[in-house]
Amino acid sequence: APDPSVVGQAVTVGFSVTSAGGTPTGNVTVSDGTVSCVGTVAVPNCALTFTIAGAKTLTATYAGDVNFAGSVSAGVAHGVNQAATTAVISSHTPDPSPRGAAVGVAWTVTPTAPGAGTPTGNVTVSDGVNTCVAAVGLGGCSVTLNTVGTRPLTATYVGDGNFSGSVSPVVNHTVTL
């Protein structure tokens, strides 16, 4: 639980190890083949955190102990969806700026809880006429604004395979003659 989850969200997986006679002890590893966690028979759960969206098949592998042989569960499907993001323009300088001047626009793109991780891809900053584009990890770009007056700046993150896109709230920037 939860199922489905989102990229970066902890998923608690419960399991059980039973026997017709006696009580097994030891460890159980839950895995999708890439991500795994280890729990004990006594505390029958562990938490996985997936960093890639998509369909997963989880199996529980009991290692066995001195009295009981190991075993592997049947696969159980689990879905991991893209995590939502929030884009925000954190600064736009100089403000005001003269017409035709480059304006440095800084942004942040962060996963929205319960998602976590590092989004990749590009962010486009625009006033509806002029734009600049840079990798999300750069955190900013310079846009040349050529229209005098109040310009509505937005930062648009297009998303990637693991994180959905988002658009920042409008930030007004003043362009003078």
State how far the Cα of 120 lies from the Cα of 44, in Å rounded to an integer. 36
Show the CA angle centred on residue 70, arms to residues 69 and 75, nearest 5°: 145
Quick: pLDDT tens for 91-111. Answer: 999 999 999 999 999 999 999
Among 139, 157, 123, 119, CA closest to 8? 119
Say what the pLDDT of residue 21 is.
86
Among 168, 167, 123, 117, CA closest to 142? 123
Mean pLDDT of the region 112-136: 97
Tokens 């736009």 belong to residue: 92
**Radius of gyration of the CA atoms of the chain, in A:** 25
What six digits make up the tokens of 83? 């995590």
Residue 168 predicted with pLDDT over 90? yes
Say what the pLDDT of residue 37 is.
98
Indicate the SS3 state at residue 137.
helix
Residue 39 predicted with pLDDT over 90? yes
- Phi, psi of 136, deg, nearest 5: -55, -35
Cβ(60)–Cβ(30) under 8 Å? yes
Quick: pLDDT tens for 127-155. Answer: 999 999 999 999 999 999 999 999 999 99
